[in-house]
Amino acid sequence: MFSRRTALGLIGSGISTFAIGRASAADYPARPVRWIVGYPPGGATDIIARLTGQRLSEKLGQQFVIENKPGAGNNIGTEAAINAEPDGYTVLLVNPANYINASLYANLKFNFVRDVAPVASFNRVPNVMTVNKDVPAKSVAEFIEYVKANPGKVNMASSGNGTSVHLSGEMFMSMTGCKMQHVPYRGAAPAITDMLGGQVQVIFDNMPSIIQHIRSGSLRALGVTTTDRSSQLPDVPAIAETVKGYEASALFGMGAPKNTPKELIAKLNTEINAVLAEPDMRKRLVELGGDSLIQTPEAFGNDIKAETDKWKKVVEFAGLKVE
């Protein structure tokens, strides 16, 4: 009799837990959601988070509050998100540094592939090889000649150690024999400021944060880092047209702490994919450099693993390591 009561109690408890899970997913979010971005305001990651977060706030009736936590090449923000309570109320803007840092940093306190719960992808964006007006080169080939003719005089800016902006430049140096001085900044915005001021000569920046400066003519694009040209910069060749085999792109999305309930992840994925399918949002993402990438959490997880493996090869090829 005791065993039967115990069994019935366990069954009842299971049903209650299931019902609570269903109810929490149905009611989610019941309060503001903290969305951690590992860079300062103004860069590509911040732009995409704020654009998507605004629509999620409107659709779900709760604010998705962007919290910029820059530092350590995106690792400070990532660690804060991974160690947060897995209740659906802390999410992370996943970006290329997350894939790169897995092999670039020697002493990370987390394993990103293991410790993140993929939620949804947003888009895949080319980086753009861009120079300031003082650089005479008008093409990738001319830039290679310029760098080799001016050893030690060309400074390459990036949004920080371990970003795709940094590694895209390292890949370029490795494949062309160019020697440039890497100058890391705390985000894309200050790097672009110094590009405009002439303190640094070249950057392989994410398209969302650089494209308006290219369109205005204040900076000059020499090439995009994807194998094909971008519809947003159709007159700008792919770097691969000159440097055979060159390819680098930036994959963005949302992640959550491991063990975040699957029901909440599924709801976020559904809502994000609905936002990404909206004509106005698709148009805006294309303007920023990459069309919407709508897929399941599982597919995004597979992409995270593939990107991690890809950038590991670049890090090893360039001989890079950050303690």
DSSP for residue 289:
T
* Tokens standing for residue 234: 């159709």
Q: Are residues 100 and 169 in the same domain?
A: no
The answer to whether residues 194 and 92 belong to one domain is: no
Phi, psi of 314 (to 5 degrees): -65, -45
pTM, 2 dp: 0.77
- pLDDT by residue (tens digit) across 209-245? 899 999 999 999 999 999 889 988 999 999 999 999 8
* Other Cβ atoms closer than 10 A to 203: 31
pLDDT at 159: 87
**Which residues form the domain of 44?**
7-125+250-318
pLDDT band at 111 (very low <50, low <70, confident <90, very high): very high
Classify residue 323: in a domain, yes or no. Answer: no
Q: Is the pLDDT of residue 181 over 80?
A: yes
Distances from the Cα of 291 to the Cαs of 14, 65, 243, in angstroms? 43, 24, 25
pLDDT digits (tens, 9 = 90+) for 3-41: 454 444 444 444 443 444 444 788 999 999 999 999 889
Of 241, 259, 292, the residue at which a domain comes to its end is 241
When divided into structural domains, the chain yields a total of 2
Q: Are residues 130 and 111 in the same domain?
A: no
Tally of CA atoms within 13 A in the half-sphere of 168 that contains its CB: 34
Specify if 1 maps to a domain. Answer: no
Residue type, 310: K
- Give me the CATH number covering residue 166: 3.40.190.10
2 inside domain:
no
Q: Are residues 310 and 262 in the same domain?
A: yes
